[in-house]
Amino acid sequence: MTLRQILLTVATIGALNSCATINTPEGGERDLVPPKLVSSTPKDQQLNVKTNTVTLTFDEEVQPNNLTRELLITPNTQNKYTVNSKREQLTLEFDNQLQDSTTFTFNFRKGVQDITEKNVAQGLKIAFSTGSFIDSSRVSGTVVDLLTQVPEKEAVVALYPTNDTLNVRKNRPYYQTQTDSAGNYNLENIKEGEYRLYAIVDKNNNSFYDNENEKIAYLDTTVYVAAQEQNVKLQTIKIDTKKPILMQRETYADRFRANYNEGIRSFLAKPLGNANDTLAHKINTNGKAAELFKTTNYTGGKTILSAVDSAGNIATDTIEISFQGKIAQQIKGAQLKVINSRSSNGYKPDQQVTIEFQTPITITGAAPVSILADSITLTTLKYPKEIMLDRTATELSFTFPKLENRNKNLSLVIDSTAIVPIEGERLQFPVLPLSISESKGTGSISGKVTSNYTNFVLQLINKDFKPVQELKDVQSRFEFKNVDPETYRIRVLVDENNDGTWYSGDPNLEKKPEKVYIYPEAIQVRANWIREDVNLEF
């Protein structure tokens, strides 16, 4: 056989062998089945367990998935453990033997997954006792946000024994669980007794409340947990204990401006030593600054400033105030004040129009403001019949009239001889564009109130739960007017103790927030439409 024949023979044999080799085909159906627990040591519901290890065996290879964070072991005994994973088995080895005469619950949540597709084991939970019986006490319920009544998903629900020094601000709870997507929780296999019950929207995943950016729910009484079924609703709030901080002071010839680090709800100024005197002031549009004005009765001196934020925290500063320098010119002459997001799209009849002046003014003429279409005067507004000047003498308001002329481009003309500054030279007022809203119309919502409470605030809230209108001092009936077409809800803040303020929560977690009621129906407002049958019962 020649060399060429030999090489051809070898090549042929190699090719045949290659064809005969069977390889695993690529692709195929994905494994979407989560691992299932086959057995555990100890077994679920086993009694008289004496061990320091817990072993789980599954029907396929598994691995831990952030297990030290996902696994909830109750009660919490501070017994540290290590995790060992080997093929189908997962073992927890504790530093010490599990505490005697105790019912333990291991809730693995999303802490175990398979190797191939990382499918998470579902509903993985076992309970056993190191004593002669399984504790059967339980408590369940729902967790919702107080101001929205929206369920809190994956909130930590925590139990602390009243006879223990564990603290919700410093320690992980003795018993804990987590809410489902509907805000429901179920704490079971609990030792009968008296507990403090909390829910925490836990942002840093440490299972206790150590951050005011987190929300917390608490009760003003303890809960006795027993075998009898009981349902407890928990309502979360965000507690703010930080006072506003006066960041910057600005002095002008006509006013003093105090700038704060956060929005302030109310502001008060009074001369030192005169407890009954309140001075002319207002909170700026951005909500973070307050202005104190020079008047004939107040020309400066030591003054006490009190700023209150939305949580009710009060900052008090005593300042020596002197009015000096130039007149404040944050605006030039006058401008229309946008009191809501819709004003910029035009005004509607019966809507309030506010003119903001650069300095306190006095009205010396009977008809200081006119509305023009092109150069034609449509109406002249009379003072004080149709025009109101606020106590700071910097804002003039009137109700936008119904006009025959439907010209959408109007102008507001201010008579500089009829409106003059209290101090300084005469002002030059610009012509202010004033347009009519292109909206097809608004609606209204009205109804009656049935309640044993006498003090409350009604809020019309949008889809983001932000108030668009508020009503106070309501008796038996209410009405929200000039409501833009949209979907709304009605929220009631109940002033239960009649102190004039809705109480939003206690930093000491002892006194509960005051009641919030949300009308269960979403209300769709349409243009030129009146809803008159809303009945609020709380």
Domain boundaries, position 351 = 334-435
Residues 460 and 494 in one domain: yes
Structure tokens at 68: 């030290």
Residues 64 and 144 in one domain: no
Please check whether residue 473 lies inside any domain of the structure.
yes
Q: What is the DSSP string of 56-124?
A: EEESS-EEESSHHHH-EEES-----EEEEEETTEEEEEESSPPPTT-EEEEE-TT-EEETTT-PBPSS-
Q: The domain that contains 218 carries what CATH number?
A: 2.60.40.1120
Whose tokens are 């399984």? That residue is 134
Cβ atoms of residues 408 and 373 within 8 Å: no
At 22 the pLDDT is 41
Q: The domain that contains 315 carries what CATH number?
A: 2.60.40
How far apart CA 233 and CA 370 sit, in angstroms, is: 57
**Which of 401, 435, 469 delimits the end of a domain?**
435
**What is the per-residue burial (b if ≥16 Cβ within 10 Å, else e) of 87-96?**
ebbbbbebee
At 276 the pLDDT is 77
Residues contacting residue 23 through CB under 8 Å, at least 6 positions apart:
none
How far apart CA 260 and CA 241 sit, in angstroms, is: 16
At 345 the pLDDT is 66
Enter the pTM of the model.
0.77
Please check whether residue 258 lies inside any domain of the structure.
yes
Residues 419 and 454 in one domain: no
Cβ atoms of residues 459 and 491 within 8 Å: yes
Residues 169 and 258 in one domain: no
Within 13 Å of residue 517, how many CA atoms lie on the same side as its CB?
16
Give Cα 66 distance to the centre of its chain: 29
**Which of 290, 322, 354 delimits the end of a domain?**
322
**Which of 322, 347, 366 delimits the end of a domain?**
322
Angle 458-459-460 (CA atoms, 0-180°, nearest 5)?
125
Please check whether residue 6 lies inside any domain of the structure.
no
Residues 177 and 254 in one domain: no
In order along the chain (538 residues), what is the average pLDDT of each group of 10 residues?
48 46 54 94 98 97 93 93 96 97 95 95 96 97 98 97 93 95 96 98 92 94 95 96 95 95 94 85 91 91 94 93 88 81 65 91 95 91 95 93 78 96 89 81 93 96 95 94 93 95 92 96 93 95
CA distances from 123 to 30, 72, 106, 149 (A): 22, 13, 11, 27
Please check whether residue 306 lies inside any domain of the structure.
yes
Residue type, 520: P
Please check whether residue 22 lies inside any domain of the structure.
no
Structure tokens at 306: 């009190």
Residues 157 and 229 in one domain: yes
Residues 85 and 156 in one domain: no
Residue type, 8: L
Q: The domain that contains 381 carries what CATH number?
A: 2.60.40.1220
Burial class (CB in 10 A: 0-12, 13-18, 19+), 133: exposed
The total number of structural domains in the chain stands at 5
At 436 the pLDDT is 81
